[in-house]
Amino acid sequence: MEERVLLSASHLCKKFRLDRKNSIYAVRDVSLDIYRGETLALVGESGCGKSTLARLLLRIIKADEGSVLFEGRDITGLSEKALLPYRKEMQMVFQDPASSLDPRMRIRDIIAEPLETWRIYDDRRKIDDRITELLEMVELNEDCLDRYPHQFSGGQKQRIGIARAIAAEPKLIVCDESVSALDVCVQAQILNLLKRLKDRLKLTCLFISHDLSVVSFIADRVCVMKNGAICEMDAAEKIYASPEHEYTKYLLSSIPKLIF
Ligand SMILES: Nc1ncnc2c1ncn2[C@@H]1O[C@H](COP(=O)(O)OP(=O)(O)OP(=O)(O)O)[C@@H](O)[C@H]1O
Ligand SMILES: [Mg+2]
């Protein structure tokens, strides 16, 4: 496998049983590579299988068919225990910051959790220094540390979620609709932050969104999904300038004209 490929998926399929008679194919025969240092955007309408695909790639759920290689190693059939070292390398930032942060934990403990779980540092001082560094990266003040999630705005909570996701220096972060719950102005701030972090930390990011105008700001490549399958994947400039697939054209045509 090429050195520049961080994660490679081949022919992934996932079917969910709805009841005794009916099933739904959430992901059908999806193959894709994620390159080191890139932001790959996954776009498509609600229900097209984006989150299911992300969960398959991170091995949160098991595929019915197909395989996932992380740095060339096949993680498809690994047990939970064997997956542990990979869990550190692949982190997620969720859509709803309110429900993804434990309301009973102080911000200090939320950000420290991955550092403690993965035993990154051997003494408390180093953990505290790293927390201070992470706060600075996500542009929050140190006076946040002893407060609880409900004392923050949506945008601030998402900054905390990002700090937690990058704390243990994962090789891949997956942002699943991470700015969708925020108002447009705060969306732009968080997108700017993610872009700065990407440059500074050379992050590899799978950025999931139903909104092509949001994606245009951050993506190097764009993968368009429809009904569980990929219909087009290419460099972002190419997708926006000359989309080939009818569905991509349709998605682009639904972006408000004021923006494009
Ligand atoms: N655990 C599950 N059991 C049954 N069906 C599921 C399950 N998870 C997802 N699905 C179905 O699989 C399809 C794909 O869902 P998925 O959540 O991956 O879509 P999505 O593209 O992330 O949508 P959204 O943009 O709304 O987040 C949907 O039809 C959904 O109802
Ligand atoms: Mg989803």
State yes or no: pLDDT of 17 exceeds 90. Answer: yes
Q: Could you tell me the pLDDT band of residue 258, with boundaries at 50, 70 and 90?
A: low
Q: In angstroms, how far is the first alpha carbon of the chain from the final one?
A: 38
* pLDDT, tens only, 46-66: 999 999 999 999 999 999 999
Which residue's CA is the nearest one to ligand 1's atom 26? 46
Q: Which of 15, 52, 56, 207 has the most ligand 1 atoms within 8 A of CB, as the residue to mutate?
A: 52
State yes or no: pLDDT of 226 exceeds 80. Answer: yes
Q: In what order do the strands lie in the sheet with 204-209?
A: 90-93, 172-176, 204-209, 39-43, 221-226, 229-235
How far apart CA 92 and CA 152 sit, in angstroms, is 20
Q: Could you tell me the pLDDT band of residue 1, with boundaries at 50, 70 and 90?
A: low
Q: What is the mean pLDDT of residues 132-148?
A: 95
Buried b (16+ CB within 10 A) or exposed e, 193-205: bbeebbeeeebbb
Answer with the residue of higher pLDDT: 222 or 185.
222
Ligand 1 in reach of 250 Cβ (< 6 A) = no
User: Which range has the top average pLDDT, 66-70, 122-126, 151-155?
Assistant: 66-70
Task: Name the β-bridge partners of 73.
Answer: 70
Q: Could you tell me the pLDDT band of residue 257, with boundaries at 50, 70 and 90?
A: low
What's the chain's average pLDDT? 93
Ligand 1 in reach of 56 Cβ (< 6 A) = no
Residue 240, token pair as written in the block = 């926006």
* pLDDT, tens only, 90-116: 999 988 877 889 999 999 999 999 999
Distance from Cα 49 to the centre of ligand 2, integer Å = 7
How far apart CA 73 and CA 67 sit, in angstroms, is 10
- Any idea which residue has 């700090």 for tokens? 163
Which residue's CA is the nearest one to ligand 1's atom 27? 46
Ligand 1 in reach of 60 Cβ (< 6 A) = no
Note whether 76 and 257 are within 8 A (CB). Answer: no
Ligand 1 in reach of 16 Cβ (< 6 A) = yes
Ligand 1 in reach of 24 Cβ (< 6 A) = yes
Q: At what angle do helices 124-137 and 154-166 cross, to 10 degrees?
A: 130
State yes or no: pLDDT of 117 exceeds 60. Answer: yes
* pLDDT, tens only, 166-214: 999 999 999 999 888 888 889 999 999 999 999 999 999 999 998 888 8
State yes or no: pLDDT of 232 exceeds 80. Answer: yes
5-253: which CATH topology?
Rossmann fold (3.40.50)
